[in-house]
Structure 1
Amino acid sequence: MKNVLLVLLSVMSFLFSYSQKGSYDLVNYTLPAIGNWTKDQKSSFISFTYINNQNNWCQIIIYKATAASGNIDSDFNAEWDELTAKNLSITAGPKRSGVKKTGQWTSVVGEGKALFDGLEMFIRHQVLVGSGNRISVIGKTNSAKFLKTIEEVNNSITLRKSPAENTPANHNVSKVPVNKEPEKLVEKIAPVRYQFQNTNWDDGWITTAAEDWAVVTRANTRVLIHYPNKQADAYNSVLKDGLQNAWNILVAPRYSNIRNYELKPVQSFESIAFAEADATEKATGKQVHIVLFKKHYSNGNGRYLEFVTADKGAYEQEFGAYRNEEFGWDKVAAMQGRNRFAVAAADLVGKWASSDYASLSYYYVNGGGFAGATATSIANEFTFFDGGKYQSDHAGASGVVGSQKFSRQVYKGNFVVSDWQMELTNRFEGALEKYSCYFEAVRGGRILMMTDRQGTVLSLVRQNK
């Protein structure tokens, strides 16, 4: 497998300062005319480097084709691990784009950051897969202004045609799913285990915790905030295919006579999943309009929202018309935040816990050998007792793996809860600490969300009661 440490070139083997078209192995490319590029060709790759007077640099590397696995996700991960992560100290990413299909070739781009000589650089790693081959085109720079240059190179890439294409017929036609599961009630209320089963919002919306979702209603409009679902939320590099899968699992089984069905996702940094249709609601026999929506937040906390209205006009009057861009979805996306329920002291009795972990590996620039790793882990545990007493245990470890420093702090005191606020006595140095708090409903229970005055958020899961 290829194992190349990419460095900035100090010896120029070829210079040009005009837009340059060229080819290497199976790749045709165009380099933007930004200045003098340095060309260097090795046995398995060709690279082009530009350095300006401010010591800002940009590097493009095109690799020879190697055998592909046939799965774009597996091929991207293998190329990223071997050509990018193996030789660099990655500090962020990869944040992956959606999959782009051109003829028999499929491509995906991963963006990230890494350290180069102690300074941060940007990485844009494009992987193209087709006809049994996979190819990497990698752009690196220490200046954000060159990210556009790298993107232009990526967009200029064309590839030699392989002997046969296997493009399915009607590739752009959305297939209406078949309803395979038995009919069930629209709302099945979750077992009452918490004092607050409803939230009445000032603008007239009402949220109720149901078994499979939190349902938000006002007049004739319902919004189902679906709880996390492993199958429906499974990652799919093709945004449209992932949306189709979610529709089949979350929506289709509860409707019949589905028509005017459209999948209209919007690819972006935080992509938008949007599908809509007219259908007959099995549980009521009513004709309704359905929109399935999800904003793919970078932190992974997006939820599928199902909007049910009398018709398309009613949906658009309340939430606005579909937009084929990443902006303008705030009112729709904000409905996810209505899965909130007030907290009662009696609901807290028991143990609640959360934990976080992060690590960073280091590699030598010259040899690529492993140079060690640092890691940080934090665990928080709150135990609430009858009578307004609490105990919390906060443990942490950080530093170089193998010689980490550990810390622990235990507090005991009283707590008071008033719907959306919590006060804890005898915190750090005996002080009173205030939190905003609420429950988020999930399948089979609730998550306790606590936010302190510094904005630190704790997501606590019940351990026992």
Structure 2
Amino acid sequence: MKKILLCLLILQASCSAKTQQQSFDITNYIAPKGWKKQTTESAMQFSKEDATTGGYCIITLLKAIPANAGAKENFDAAWETVVKEMVKVSAAPEMQPSATEDGWQIQSGYAPFDNEGEKGLALLVTSTGYDKMVNLLVLTNTDVYEKEMTAFIESISFKKQTQTNNNSSTDKNKTPVSAAKKDGFAFSTTNFDDGWNSTVQEDWVEVTNGNIKVLLHYPRDETIFPADPEPLTNAVWNILVAPRYSTLKNYKTAYISTYNRPYLGMGYLTDNSSRKEVFVVLFRQGDTGWLEVIAPDKNSFIQQFKFDPETIQWNSETDLLKHLLVMPGYNKFAIAASDFTGSWSSDFTGIQQLYNVYTGNYAGMNMNQSNETFQFGAGNTYNWKFLAVNGMAGNAKFAQVKSAGKFTVLNNWQIKFSDIEGRPQTYHAQFSCIKGARVLKLLNAQSPGSGIYTVFGKQ
């Protein structure tokens, strides 16, 4: 394994001329032949396994993320958030000599792991440069795949980067990101590929990009009630927005008359904490929840969201709001094995009252109810149960299926269960936040159907 570790330090740019070269994010590589490849929005993974011996090797390449610390500090942080969330390591990593290549500082180290008797070696390489950090994780329990793994590592190079000037006016205008709230889950920050960054806060998810900040407010009973647009928006503004600002100027409300009516409130205010004047837009449409956009001025808002909110009228085109409507999707956080404890369940109820189309007489009630539960235990074990009741009232049918096994977190956005209805199942997985809790969202990766995630709450 020592030979492998030395190869981790060789990230030669000369490989870029090879015709077989591919790229993932800012990393160039040559894919190992015959290995299984999986790609998500945040990582790419190659794996190979010998079913006879049980030997395996998993190589995970993560997308570049912002890096503000030194190379060793970045490695230490990645060891905590990448390695320790994937496997159980009891010893500190044995560090290898650092290296510098084309402006990238490379730190690498390894340690043995033992997951419920499954032993192997975890190797982490962290490359820091150009205000970015790239992590490569290798998990293996054999040296059988050493040659192929070495060839893959030697093929790696990085696309040419431009050093960011930390004293630039652009950086000075960036909205500072608030420290994430620690809520007992592994990941409280998400850095998206499009430049948006999300952090968990006490009363909202804070989403920032450049000089724009968006607060995705958690649901509150007193902010959802039947009312005309203006009194509803005024009431919610006074609850969610007004307490944190002063000297409100040019406040107005707006809406668009449509089946799924959007509500907007806006004005110029002074932020009580920074004492800076800002332009704030409060918005809700359908199930977006209330979101609050904070911009240094109206022009900054227009540049980001591509419309002038002060020109919205009852007959405006709803398509103007499309860039606001995607913001709730940033309430999204990665998973880790340590997050799966206790009981998580999802419930559904649907009732139809039936009437005869010719006579108008009541024809009975049809109901559909279901409950799906995961009970997670020690050692990555779980028990799964699905219960369904459907049919006409008084003659409903009942069905139930159960299974048990072990789960594996494949990467930050996927989890695999060893047995669901008699076969292994892999799910796309993510967390979203509400006040004081999180909800787990799962979507069958083999049969995604409509793409709608099933939502689970912790009991």
TM-score bracket, normalised by the shorter chain, equals: 0.5 to 0.7
* Counterpart Cα distance in 2 of 1:235 and 1:199: 34
Aligned match of 2:202: 211
- From 381, 390, 395, give the equivalent of 1:398: 390
Aligned match of 2:241: 251
Aligned match of 2:229: 239
- Cα shift at 1:381: 0.6
Map 1:85-124 onto structure 2 (within 5 A): none
Aligned match of 1:318: 304
Q: Is the 8 A contact 1:380 1:392 kept in 2?
A: yes
Secondary structure (helix, strand or coil) at the match of 1:251 reads helix
Aligned match of 1:221: 212
- Cα shift at 1:188: 8.4
Structure 1 position 197 matched with structure 2 position 207: no
Secondary structure (helix, strand or coil) at the match of 2:268 reads strand
- Cα shift at 1:366: 5.6
* Corresponding letter in the other structure for 2:230: K
- Cα shift at 1:358: 0.7
Give RMSD over aligned pairs: 1.8
Aligned match of 1:303: 289
- Cα shift at 1:304: 1.1
- From 331, 337, 355, give the equivalent of 1:339: 331
1:202/1:246 Cα in 2 relative to 1: closer, same or farther (>3 Å)? same
Q: Is the 8 A contact 2:216 2:328 kept in 1?
A: yes
Aligned match of 1:84: none
Aligned match of 1:356: 348
* Counterpart Cα distance in 1 of 2:250 and 2:179: 28
Secondary structure (helix, strand or coil) at the match of 1:314 reads helix
* Corresponding letter in the other structure for 1:425: S
* Counterpart Cα distance in 1 of 2:355 and 2:327: 44
Task: Provide TM-score, normalisation by structure 2.
Answer: 0.57
Map 1:21-420 onto structure 2 (within 5 A): 190-236=181-227, 238-296=228-286, 301-322=287-308, 323=312, 324-365=316-357, 368-417=360-409, 418-420=411-413
Structure 1 position 426 matched with structure 2 position 419: yes
Task: Provide TM-score, normalisation by structure 1.
Answer: 0.56
* Corresponding letter in the other structure for 2:241: V
Aligned match of 2:93: none
Identical aligned pairs, as a percentage? 30
Secondary structure (helix, strand or coil) at the match of 2:378 reads coil
1:436/1:330 Cα in 2 relative to 1: closer, same or farther (>3 Å)? same
Secondary structure (helix, strand or coil) at the match of 1:332 reads helix
Aligned match of 2:104: none
Secondary structure (helix, strand or coil) at the match of 2:193 reads coil
- Cα shift at 1:275: 1.4
- What is the aligned length? 272
Secondary structure (helix, strand or coil) at the match of 2:329 reads helix
* Corresponding letter in the other structure for 2:431: F
* Counterpart Cα distance in 1 of 2:337 and 2:412: 9
- Cα shift at 1:303: 1.3
Q: Is the 8 A contact 1:239 1:267 kept in 2?
A: no
* Corresponding letter in the other structure for 1:314: S
1:444/1:355 Cα in 2 relative to 1: closer, same or farther (>3 Å)? same
* Counterpart Cα distance in 1 of 2:390 and 2:240: 41
* Counterpart Cα distance in 2 of 1:397 and 1:240: 43
| Structure 2 gaps, min length 5 | 1-176
* Counterpart Cα distance in 2 of 1:191 and 1:341: 13
- Structure whose residues are more often helix by fraction: 2
* Counterpart Cα distance in 2 of 1:198 and 1:191: 10
- Cα shift at 1:370: 2.4
Aligned match of 1:92: none
* Counterpart Cα distance in 2 of 1:341 and 1:302: 17
- Cα shift at 1:191: 3.8
Q: Is the 8 A contact 1:188 1:211 kept in 2?
A: no
* Corresponding letter in the other structure for 2:334: A
* Counterpart Cα distance in 1 of 2:297 and 2:197: 21
* Counterpart Cα distance in 2 of 1:432 and 1:439: 22
Secondary structure (helix, strand or coil) at the match of 1:291 reads strand
